Structure 1
């Protein structure tokens, strides 16, 4: 009886080991494929981030130029206001 139980236990361990190996062999290709897809998506994300950084730099430069022109026009308008007020008085 004990011998039979030991055989069953060893058979169960062998079956468990075989099952684990089969599960790993089935899941491994999916993991590798997923890893490749993630690597491709990370490269695309890096290129998109580079483009966004460049566009942000261009936008900031244009915004700075626009702000400088707006300040200059405001200063011109203020000087015209003061001249008109001086002429009225």
Structure 2
């Protein structure tokens, strides 16, 4: 299990990556939720719950983040990892 600091660093890095790369995401994925790990888009989901459930199973170290794909980026931050904990 990762520490809170490690998780926060992953979330921060992923958010900066998302801001830099979001314009490359196809329009048909708007309003989806993207799972990001190690500054890479992993998978897109219809709901934040689905994204987090998938991530918790696949990444037991909790080093990932989830971001809604839209024109108004909101940093879900550490809280995004804690939903459905």
TM over 0.5: no
Higher relative contact order (CA 8 A, sep 6+): 2
Higher strand share: 2
- Shorter-chain TM-score: which interval? under 0.3
